[in-house]
Amino acid sequence: MSEVFVSNATNVLKKVLVCSPKYYVFNAINEITKSWMEKGETEQNDLMVKEWNELMDAYRANGVEVVEMTPDPSMEVQTFARDFGACVKEGAIIGKFRHPARQVETAAYEAKLKEIGVPVIARCNAGCFEGGDFWMIDEHTLAFGEVDRTDQAGIANLREQLAKFGYTVVGVPCPPANLHLDMVFNIVAEKTCIAAVDELPYNFIQMLKRRNFEIIPVESELVFKHGCNVQALGEGKVLAIKNNKSVNDKMKAIGLDVIEVDLCQILKAGGGPHCMTFPVQRA
């Protein structure tokens, strides 16, 4: 029996690949960072690293093995480990970054996957695909957000490559200001999701309902506060951002165990816990 890596979005999270924001540099490649730069904000890397360490401590405290990249000053946005690709049960899908500032990350992350024994099973070699747009709706259905960083050519290219593994690929078009699908949608527990419903296409919402998902609605104004950007740990546990009280309260109300991490400065970079985490193994 070959090793199983990630077979769905909600099994117990066992191992993640991450990268410290030690050398993170603000880039105006998303609406959130752009607005902070216009206000004269700077990175404050020490504060970012402190917050990131709190997130890593929360992972370790919940039994997750944390594999760290060596941060590289030449890679300004490397801390958002989610985006270089995705992981399914057979291995890794390598994406293709839209922005040149991020394209340098792919080789470094791929080398790390090789080092930790994760095979590459597909590679986006047409159009663009970033991991923040990827969701396993179930063990056979993969949703690819078509927002700002993943396009139809990238989705078509990967649909073709993943068909041989029995995966159905569904495209989910959303307004581009939302950056990635994980900013407006997140699977938090089995058959349970949080969703900025006004930002998502009708057909996708209907598909979730047909599959008996409980949909916790999130207001559109919370999208840029990372209201949907949480990380499911499995067994009803979710890592979330302390400040997003209304979303956290909704998750708690349906019985989820919400572990709150105090993130603030790092969010100005345009990503939350989900963006900073590449799941390598869920058991």
Q: Is residue 212 part of a domain?
A: yes
User: What is the pLDDT at residue 41?
Assistant: 81
- Does 21 score more than 60 pLDDT? yes
- Number of domains, the chain: 1
Q: What is the pLDDT of residues 125-178, one digit of tens each?
A: 999 999 999 999 999 999 999 999 999 999 999 999 999 999 999 999 999 999
Q: Give the CATH number for residue 188.
A: 3.75.10.10
Looking at the domain assignment, is residue 223 inside a domain? yes
Residue 4 lies inside a defined structural domain of this protein? no
pLDDT at 1: 52
Domain contains 67: yes
Q: How far apart are CA 111 and CA 245, in angstroms?
A: 39
Cα–Cα dist 45/116, whole Å: 28
Q: Residue 55: which domain range?
A: 13-282
Please write the tens of the pLDDT for every residue from 33-77. Answer: 778 678 888 788 999 999 999 999 999 999 999 999 999 999 989
Helix, strand, coil share (%) of the chain residues, nearest 5: 35, 25, 40
* Helix runs in the chain, H state only: 31-38, 45-61, 100-103, 105-115, 152-162, 202-210, 245-253
Say whether 43 sits in a helix, a strand or coil: coil
Note whether residue 34 is domain-resident.
yes
Task: Show the tokens assigned to 137.
Answer: 């709706």
Instruction: Give the side-chain half-sphere CA count within 13 A for 93.
Output: 35
- Tell me, yes or no, whether 31 lies in a domain: yes
Domain assignment present for 43: yes
Residue 2 belongs to some domain of the structure: no
